[in-house]
Each structure stands twice: as C-alpha cells, then as structure tokens.
Amino acid sequence: MNVSELVLELSDTIPDFPKSGIVFRDLTPVFADADAFTAVIDDLAARFHGRFDAVVGVEARGFLLAAAIAYAEHVPLVAVRKAGKLPGEVLAEDYALEYGTATLEIRPGQLAQGSRVLIVDDVLATGGSSSAAARLVERSGYSVAGIGLVLELDGLGGRERLGAYDVYSIVAERA
Ligand SMILES: O=P(O)(O)OC[C@H]1O[C@H](OP(=O)(O)OP(=O)(O)O)[C@H](O)[C@@H]1O
Ligand SMILES: Nc1ncnc2[nH]cnc12
C-alpha cells in the first residue's frame, strides 16, 4: 500500500465527537502503526525537502508529526501551543475551528529572522488552526514555506482560507 492508502485504511471515523454533529477523523491508529507513521513522515518531509529551515508543530496532534520531521530533516522545532502553556513573552492569535474557538501562542525569537518555516498538523478542517499558526509565524518575522497535513477535510473551507500558502495533504476527502 502507498502512504495515502495506509492513511485511509488505518484511520478511524467517530460520529458525534467531540460534539454532536461532528464527524471526527482519528489518525492515532496511523501513528500507532510503525510502517504507516514512517511513511507519513517520509512523505511530508520529502514534499518540502530543502525548502524549510524549521518546523512548527500545532498543539497537540501536530507535535507528533513535527517532532519526527524536525529529527528526520535535522532542523529546529518550534511549538505553537494553546493559550497559557508557554512562559514568558508570547504572541497570540484567536481562531475558530469546527467545534469551538481557541487561542494559539508562540514564543518569538527562537529562530533567525527570515527563517522559512514548515507548519505541520494532522487534520485540516476549517483552516482556523493552520491560519492562526501562519499568522504567528509571520508576526515572529519568519516566512511560511508551506503547510503539511495528513488529512484534509474538503468542504469546510480550509484550503480556500489558506490560499496564500503552499498547502499539501497526503489524503483529501469530502467532509
Ligand atoms: O482546520 P481546523 O478547523 O482548525 O481544525 C483542525 C485542527 O483541529 C484539531 O485540533 P484540536 O484543536 O482539536 O486540538 P488537539 O490537537 O489538541 O486535539 C486538529 O489537530 C487541527 O489542529
Ligand atoms: N472532523 C475532525 N476530525 C478530526 N480533527 C478535526 N479538527 C477539526 N475538525 C476535525
């Protein structure tokens, strides 16, 4: 099986989680399969290879992917976290997602100005999380080299919202 077949084969679909009406796509079984996880990391890293100086992972599921890509490509890893988790000076962006609203934060000054940053997350739905992460990257003085995702849910406006960026997902499916 190729990497997109592995993602489709192993991922789960849970109706009415975390709220009634949401069809939740769970990628943890993909991460729990060593061959599939390795294939996912290799695919995302290869797609953007040579075009990024650092990786940003979006809490929480994006951390799992971003850490592995940073290790594989030997580049710095920066965490974009939910509000109140990072100490010291932070930049913050409010956003909406499929099942609520939240705030993401970054500690600026961790990378050289002008660094090309790859933003990584597991799922693209409305694009609220990724666009908030992109705004934090840009407000920190870096550029967004691309946004890498495992699964894109079509029909929720995410790709349209991220139109300014190079967005790649391993699998796209109708939400
Ligand atoms: O495109 P969007 O509409 O923003 O949705 C996608 C985001 O939603 C999920 O995270 P969630 O906020 O549920 O947090 P978690 O990773 O901590 O579970 C997912 O991991 C993405 O970060
Ligand atoms: N339907 C969904 N499944 C998994 N993660 C999500 N993040 C936002 N919407 C989601």
> What pLDDT score does 97 carry?
84
Give kind and range of the element (H or E) at residue 128: helix 128-139
User: Cα 115 vs. chain centroid, distance in angstroms?
Assistant: 18
Provide the residue count of the chain: 175
126 C-alpha to center of ligand 2: Å? 9
Q: How far apart are CA 147 and CA 162, in angstroms?
A: 9
Residue ID of nearest Cα to ligand 1 atom 15 = 60
81 C-alpha to center of ligand 1: Å? 11
Answer whether 0.90 is exceeded by the pTM: yes
pLDDT mean values, one per 10 residues, the chain (175 residues): 98 97 96 98 98 98 98 98 97 91 97 98 97 98 98 96 97 95
Q: How far apart are CA 56 and CA 143, in angstroms?
A: 12
> What pLDDT score does 99 carry?
85
3-state DSSP call for residue 67?
A: helix
Domains of the chain: 3-174 (3.40.50.2020)
| Cβ atoms of residues 3 and 40 within 8 Å | yes
ipTM over 0.85: yes
Cross-strand partners of 81: 105
